[in-house]
Amino acid sequence: MILTVITAITYPVAIQYKRGGLWQVLAPFAALVLLIDALASYTEWTLIFGLPEKGDHTITHRIRSMHYDEAHSRRELARLVQVYLDACEPDGKH
């Protein structure tokens, strides 16, 4: 789960490129975090949750799909991660 932890730690900084202005300097860093995110989705998350559905290339996309999962534990995980993602976004909505 090291890639997931790296993604979770670096995401709050990387996503700030959306603010524009000088924050655009973080765009290359954000691209690197996106690559790590996708790698985590296809390796670590595949081992735990199975193959991603069509269009679920990143952990974020998987979280959106998990909101509608039959398993209560997955829905709860998705809700908790969504709160974290929203808190990191400059506009508050991921």
Largest CA distance in the chain: 43
Query: Do 1 and 44 meet the contact criterion of CB atoms below 8 Å apart?
Result: yes
pLDDT tier for residue 92 given thresholds of 50, 70 and 90: confident
Encode pLDDT of 37-81 as tens digits: 999 999 999 999 999 999 999 998 999 999 999 999 999 999 999
Torsion of CA 66, 68, 69, 73, to 10 degrees: 70
- Please state the separation of Cα 94 from the chain's center in Å: 9
Residue 12 has pLDDT above 90, yes or no: yes
Mean pLDDT for 11-22 is 93
- Distance between CA atoms of 35 and 66, rounded to whole angstroms? 21
Mean pLDDT for 80-94 is 91
